[in-house]
């Protein structure tokens, strides 16, 4: 379901995390949590951040349904992780009409065939 992606210097630690099944958030000295790609704390602008894995639970903030050239339809989502940061990805194992704003989701990782890095995606949590 997911596509191929290669790491670069900025994403090496992130993809080391996804290979372990972890989505690495960024934490400052004051304990604020920022998005995985933040280079400064998104709350206090501190530059000294360390990686900390998300626990994996989240809530759908918004959703969309991409109609792809192969005729399939992929549910896209913005998820607010329970820690606060957002992550944009897709929902696997569900049809677009099943994905709604406010739905609970769980982090999961998938890898495209042929040696790509693992990519964070979501699955719906049964209500």
Partner 1 sequence: MGEAAADPLTPRTMPRGRTPAIVGLGMTEMGKVYDRTAAEFAADAVRLAVADAGLSLEDVDGLLTSAGVGGGVGLGLARDLGLRDLAVLSEMQSYGSTAGQMVQYASLAVASGMAGTIACVFADAPLRQGTSTGAAYGSRGAVGWRGVLGASGIADTTSMYALAARRHMDTYGTTQDQLGHIAVGQRAWAGMNPRAQFRDPLTLEQYHASRWITEPFHLLDCCLVSNGGIAVVVTSAERAGSLARPPVHVHGWGQAHPGRSLLRHENFGLVSGAARSGPAALAMAGLSVSDVDVVELYDCYTFTVLITLEDYGFCPKGEGGRFVADGTLGPDGKLKVNTGGGQLSSYYLWGMTPLSEAVLQARGEAGERQVADHDVVLVSGNGGVLDHHSTLVLSPHAPGRA
Q: Is 3 in the site for partner 1 (CB under 8 A)?
A: yes
Instruction: Compute the least distance from the CB of residue 54 to partner 1, in Å.
Output: 13
**Looking at beta carbons only, is 34 or 105 nearer to partner 1?**
34
Window 28-47: residues binding Zn ion (CB under 5 A): 28, 30, 32, 41, 43-44, 46
- Picked from partner 1, Zn ion, none, the partner binding residue 51 (CB below 5 to 8 A depending on kind) is none
Q: Which of 46, 51, 94, 112 binds partner 1 (CB under 8 A)?
A: 112
Q: Is 89 in the site for partner 1 (CB under 8 A)?
A: yes
Buried b (16+ CB within 10 A) or exposed e, 48-77: ebeeeebebebbbeebeeeeeeeeeeebeb
State in Å, rounded, how far the first CA of the chain is from the last one: 24
Cβ(29)–Cβ(126) below 8 Å? no
Query: From CA 65, how far away is CA 113, in angstroms rounded?
Result: 23
Q: Is 54 in the site for partner 1 (CB under 8 A)?
A: no
């Amino acid at each position: 379901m997911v596509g191929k992606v290669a790491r670069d210097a900025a994403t090496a630690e992130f993809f080391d995390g996804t290979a372990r099944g972890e989505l690495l958030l960024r934490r400052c000295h004051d304990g604020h949590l920022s998005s995985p790609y933040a280079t400064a704390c998104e709350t206090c602008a501190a530059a000294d951040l360390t990686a900390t894995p998300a626990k994996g639970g989240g809530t759908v903030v918004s959703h969309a349904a991409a109609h792809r050239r192969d005729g399939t339809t992929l549910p896209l989502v913005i998820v607010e992780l329970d820690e606060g940061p957002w992550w944009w990805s897709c929902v696997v194992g569900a049809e677009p009409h099943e994905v709604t704003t406010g739905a609970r989701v769980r982090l999961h990782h998938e890898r495209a065939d042929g040696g790509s890095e693992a990519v964070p995606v979501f699955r719906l949590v049964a209500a």
